[in-house]
């Protein structure tokens, strides 16, 4: 049970929403607005739906995003750089486009550079091209998936990156990426600070898994869910078309099952959802296979959706090997479930028709839908406002429909996971009817 702390702390751990700034703002903004966000704070009431550390709802104040009346940088002398890192996600090109359009048209920034292939683009040995981004170059990029700048995984030297920033005379660096990328951004900020440089570093959180701490929904997630439901519908059609038909779909979600849960809740055709946050068993009381058998007896078909990180505890071949980003290499839950299901029903002498679908790379490579495009546009605009005002060591995020500035330190403390005590997970359980499976329901409230 969480310990209740004095009101001024709000959380089990100390939290500070103060945003770092490069120095006093002395340049008058030339934006044609009468409304500025200089001294505005956004008070939000957060609960365990937003951060599982919260025992009870608390009020937290964040610095509101938006244009400032006074700027730190003289836009006519500023120089921006944009870099995209990590895996693909719907909407990355939309964010790039919004950054370029805002910096060029609103602030008249004379130079906006695009860094090729992630953080590798800063390292001279890779010889990746640096692009000068213009409105004409990005005007239609939102119609395409992926990232026009290219991406890469893996750490690079923060010293070498800051060397490049100095050589290019960069004023503002916009880093679009997930948990590992934002940790790299924090290291870059520390190196900039150690050299007493005046370079703003603004992060735009990107993750298709929706696992960024303090960010209830990351851009591209809604598009990913839309595409995931198409795969689930296909699996359902296949399952209904055969006697004892089973549709098995694997969706992205290494450590969190948000896509699997949201897509299943949306479509209402899913009978079993398996996510990393709720370890399940295959056999015995509360086992998946006996429950699947009962489902086939009663309804003659079934649909199973599994996040890629689900079931790792059941696979002996799981290793401690990591990929270039430092993520543990996962065993394939789709293969494990397929083999287990086929073996179980073969031993029972029950014929089945099992179809497997893995749409992972289709989902993350598609263009953003309309709502995600709007979201990305706001993120890009607010990131430019923050950078021109000399904010740094922060990300722009949307929390409870409010755009705010969040310190990088809060974002990178841990990865966000689906809260199994939440109303959201309860709704998923009610939709699928899988409450009798072992591990699906929390034993107690925990509040």
pLDDT (0 to 100) of residue 441: 81
Task: Please give the Cα distance from 270 to 163 (Å, whole number).
Answer: 52
One DSSP character per residue, 55-107 reads: SS-EEEEEEEPS--SEESS-GGG-EEEEEE-SS--TTHHHHHHHHHHIIIIIT
User: How many CB atoms sit inside 10 A of residue 132's CB?
Assistant: 9
Q: Tell me the C-alpha distance between 205 and 124, whole Å.
A: 26
Cβ distance 44 to 399 under 8 Å?
yes
Same structural domain for residues 97 and 205? yes
Is the same domain home to 185 and 314? no
Q: Kindly state whether residues 230 and 209 are assigned to the same domain.
A: no
* Two structure tokens written together for 209: 């898994």
Which residues does residue 8 pair with via DSSP β-bridges, in sequence order? none
* Same domain flag for 207 and 289: no
Distance from C-alpha of 330 to C-alpha of 282, rounded to nearest angstrom = 19
Q: What are phi and psi of 46, to 5 degrees?
A: -105, 150
pTM: 0.92
Residue 336 shares a structural domain with residue 389: no
Which are the contacts of 131, defined by CB distance < 8 A and separation ≥ 6? 113, 114, 116, 137, 149
Residue 442 forms part of a structural domain: no
Tell how strand 58-64 and strand 391-392 pair up. Answer: unpaired
Q: Helix crossing, 258-267 with 221-240: angle to 10°? A: 60
Domain enclosing residue 238, as ranges: 222-365+421-432
85 & 194 share domain:
yes
Task: Give CA–CA dist 296/294, Å, rounded.
Answer: 5
Tell which residue, 225, 374, 349, 251, has the closest CA to residue 303: 251
Answer yes or no: do 357 and 376 share one domain: no
* Among 279, 295, 312, residue whose Cα is nearest residue 247: 295
What is each CA distance from 46 to 214, 225, 239, 413, in whole angstroms?
10, 24, 41, 17
228 and 344 together in one domain: yes
Per-residue pLDDT of the chain (447 residues), as tens digits, is 233 333 433 444 457 899 999 999 999 999 988 789 988 898 888 777 666 667 788 888 999 999 999 999 999 999 999 999 999 999 999 999 999 999 999 999 999 999 999 999 999 999 999 999 999 999 999 999 999 999 999 899 999 999 999 999 999 999 999 999 999 999 999 999 999 999 999 999 999 999 998 899 999 999 999 999 999 999 999 999 999 999 999 999 999 999 999 999 998 999 999 999 999 999 999 999 999 999 999 999 999 999 999 999 999 655 567 666 566 789 999 999 999 999 999 999 999 999 999 998 999 999 999 999 999 999 999 999 999 999 999 999 999 899 999 999 999 988 999 989 888 999 999 999 999 999 998 765 544
Contact 20, 389 (CB under 8 A): no
d(CA 288, CA 438): 8
Residue 74: give its domain's CATH number: 3.40.50.450
User: 166 and 235: one domain?
Assistant: no
Are 238 and 96 in a shared domain? Answer: no
Residue 10 lies in a domain: no
User: Do 270 and 237 reside in the same domain of the chain?
Assistant: yes
CB 165 within 8 A of CB 115: no
> How many distinct structural domains can be found in the chain?
2
pLDDT tens digits, residue range 249-277? 999 999 999 999 999 999 899 999 999 99
CA distance 208 to 252: 8
Residues 123 and 251 in one domain: no
The CATH number that applies at residue 314 is 3.40.50.460
Catalytic residues: 209
């Amino acid at each position: 049970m969480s310990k209740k702390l004095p009101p001024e702390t709000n959380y089990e751990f100390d939290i500070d929403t103060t945003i770092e700034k490069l120095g006093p703002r002395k340049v008058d903004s030339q934006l044609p607005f009468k409304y500025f966000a200089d001294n505005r704070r956004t008070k939000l009431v957060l609960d365990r739906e937003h951060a599982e550390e919260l025992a009870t709802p608390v009020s937290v104040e964040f610095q509101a995003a938006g244009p400032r009346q006074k700027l730190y940088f003289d836009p006519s002398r500023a120089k921006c750089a944009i870099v995209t890192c990590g895996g693909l996600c719907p909407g990355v090109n939309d964010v790039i486009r919004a950054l370029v359009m805002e910096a060029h048209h609103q602030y008249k920034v004379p130079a906006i550079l695009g860094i090729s292939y992630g953080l590798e683009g800063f390292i001279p040995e890779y010889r990746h091209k640096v692009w000068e981004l213009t409105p004409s170059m990005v005007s239609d990029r939102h119609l395409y998936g992926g990232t026009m700048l290219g991406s890469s995984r893996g750490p690079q030297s923060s010293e070498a990156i800051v060397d490049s920033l100095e050589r290019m005379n960069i004023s503002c660096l916009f880093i679009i990426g997930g948990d590992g990328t934002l940790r790299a951004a924090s290291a870059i900020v520390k190196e900039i600070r150690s050299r007493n440089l005046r370079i703003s570093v603004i992060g735009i959180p990107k993750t298709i898994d929706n696992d960024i701490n303090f960010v209830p929904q990351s851009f591209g997630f809604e598009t990913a869910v839309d595409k995931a439901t198409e795969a689930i519908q296909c699996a359902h059609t296949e399952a209904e078309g055969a006697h004892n038909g089973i549709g098995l779909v694997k969706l992205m979600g290494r450590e969190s099952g948000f896509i699997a849960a949201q897509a299943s809740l949306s479509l209402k055709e899913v009978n079993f959802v398996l996510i990393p946050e709720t370890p399940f068993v295959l056999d015995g009381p509360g086992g998946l296979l006996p429950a699947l058998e009962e489902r086939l007896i009663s309804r003659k078909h079934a649909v199973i959706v599994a996040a890629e990180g689900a079931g790792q505890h059941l696979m002996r071949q799981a290793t401690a090997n990591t990929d270039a980003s430092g993520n543990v290499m996962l065993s394939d839950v789709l293969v494990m479930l397929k083999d287990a299901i086929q073996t179980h029903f073969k031993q029972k002498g029950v014929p089945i028709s099992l179809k497997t679908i893995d749409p992972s790379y289709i989902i993350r490579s598609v263009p953003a839908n309309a709502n995600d495009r709007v979201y990305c546009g706001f993120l890009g605009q607010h990131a430019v406002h923050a950078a021109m005002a000399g904010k740094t060591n922060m990300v722009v995020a949307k929390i409870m429909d409010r755009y705010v500035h969040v310190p990088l330190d809060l974002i990178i403390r841990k990865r966000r996971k689906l809260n199994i005590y939440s109303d959201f997970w309860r709704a998923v359980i009610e939709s699928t009817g899988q409450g009798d499976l072992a591990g699906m329901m929390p034993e107690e409230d925990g509040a």
